[in-house]
């Protein structure tokens, strides 16, 4: 065998370890995100977990979830989330989570923040993206169709600029990076999955871990990792949330049927850590807290940022364990806790109730 030829046996072992080989038992697949988060927590010096605060938060979260009858069905109750259970919705969710990152604006003035007007309403943050997708589809722009993304005569940069136009003078952050993600994903789907998101989902064989690993192995823009203490740390926020959105949208059936959905962790972003701190679960070192409260940016991949993300994942896992310990029959996982915390934090933000700002990191990962 020449140096340039692939060693099929080694490739097979690699694919098996990642859970992306259709012939192996996909139950063995693992994303390793939770293990890496625990490592970050064990070695963190600027972010700490408050044991009493975490237990109290678990009790509060469970009580509120019961009062609100919060479940994965809540996902579809959001006005902008797609309601149909078909292949077009799978494409919608893929495109949505392909670009589900970095919506905060430098200027806190609402007149300067990126927002989208849709059906007479103004949407900000994540919802601005979802509104922009609906708006484009209603304008007969096939923005969720993978073959369209690589047709640069039809899907021009000017057209994409139009799709993501803002209702204010503040443009969508990282537009150039978003366009790159769209083009790259279109090419990879075309080359590796016959241009089909459905083919990608089918290859995972109903395994959440396998689908996460497929996304992070094939698509560089989904491979959300960082270095910490010379160790590679996996977060895989957007890959995991894509799986979670499919599961919630299809209510665990059809394209959302995953036998190992409980392997998905909290999605390490900038909103949920903010909520965990407000609940008394997370504590920051004085330099880090000063950086956050001063609205100064924290570099993507820095030790501070990795600690914020890793400790948040582990914190939500401990909250989940506390709930299960107190309520053994509770159907609760990290996905539902994350969704609940995000929705609650967004509501508090809209009401002007924030005890600490979110940390500021410019990144395509979240």
Contact 200, 214 (CB under 8 A): yes
Tokens 């369209």 correspond to what residue? Answer: 148
Per-residue DSSP letters for 291-351? Answer: HHHTT-B--TTSHHHHHHHHHHHHHHHHHHHHHHHH-TT----HHHHHHHHHHHHHHHHHT
Contact 323, 330 (CB under 8 A): yes
Instruction: Give the closest residue to 204 by CA, choosing from 144, 252, 262, 260.
Output: 260
Q: Give the Å distances, CA to CA, from 137 to 11, 56, 130, 159, 203.
A: 40, 44, 11, 13, 28
Q: Give the Å distances, CA to CA, from 316 to 37, 146, 151, 195, 272.
A: 11, 34, 42, 36, 9
Please name the residue ranges forming H helices in 47-174.
51-67, 74-77, 87-98, 126-138, 146-149, 157-163
Cα distance between residue 284 and residue 219, in whole Å: 33
What b/e string do you get for 241-272 counting C-beta neighbours within 10 Å, with b at 16 or more?
A: bbbbbbbbbbeeeebbebebbebbbbbbbbbb
Between strands 282-284 and 47-49, the pairing is: antiparallel
Instruction: Confirm whether 269 is a catalytic residue.
Output: yes
Q: Three-state SS for 23? A: coil
User: Which DSSP state fits 221?
Assistant: G
Q: Which residues contact 175 (CB under 8 A, 6 or more apart)?
A: 160, 161, 164
From the list 269, 333, 338, 350, the catalytic residue is 269
Q: Which amino acids are annotated catalytic?
A: 269
């Amino acid at each position: 065998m020449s140096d340039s030829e692939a060693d099929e046996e080694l490739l097979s072992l690699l694919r098996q370890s990642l859970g992306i080989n259709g012939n192996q038992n996909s139950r063995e697949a693992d994303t390793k995100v939770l293990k890496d988060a625990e490592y970050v927590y064990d070695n963190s010096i600027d972010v700490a977990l408050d044991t009493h605060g975490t237990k109290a938060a678990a009790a509060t979260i469970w009580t509120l979830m019961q009062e609100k009858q919060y479940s994965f069905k809540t996902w579809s109750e959001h006005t902008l989330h797609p309601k149909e259970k078909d292949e077009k919705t799978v494409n919608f969710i893929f495109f949505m989570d392909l670009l589900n990152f970095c919506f905060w604006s430098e200027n806190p003035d609402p007149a300067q923040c990126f927002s989208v007007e849709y059906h007479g309403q103004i949407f900000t943050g994540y919802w601005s993206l979802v509104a922009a997708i609906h708006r484009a589809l209603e304008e007969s722009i096939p923005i969720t169709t993978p073959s369209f993304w690589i047709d640069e005569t039809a899907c021009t940069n000017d057209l994409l600029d139009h799709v993501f136009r803002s209702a204010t003078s503040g443009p969508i952050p990282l537009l150039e990076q978003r366009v790159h993600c769209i083009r790259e994903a279109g090419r990879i789907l075309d080359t590796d999955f016959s241009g089909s998101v459905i083919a990608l989902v089918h290859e995972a064989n109903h395994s959440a871990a396998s689908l996460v690993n497929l996304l992070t192995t094939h698509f560089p823009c989904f491979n959300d990792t960082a270095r910490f203490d010379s160790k590679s740390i996996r977060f895989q926020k957007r890959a995991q949330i894509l799986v979670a959105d499919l599961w919630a949208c299809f209510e665990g059936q059809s394209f959302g049927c995953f036998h190992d959905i409980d392997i998905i962790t909290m999605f390490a972003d900038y909103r949920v850590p903010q909520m965990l701190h407000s609940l008394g679960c997370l504590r920051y070192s004085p330099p880090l807290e000063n950086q956050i409260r001063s609205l100064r940016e924290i570099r993507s991949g820095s030790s501070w940022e990795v600690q914020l993300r890793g400790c948040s994942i582990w914190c939500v896992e401990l909250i989940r364990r506390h709930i299960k310990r107190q309520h053994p029959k509770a159907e609760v996982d990290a996905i539902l806790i994350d969704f609940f915390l995000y929705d609650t934090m967004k509501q508090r933000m809209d009401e002007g109730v924030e005890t600490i700002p979110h940390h500021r990191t410019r990144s395509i990962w979240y």
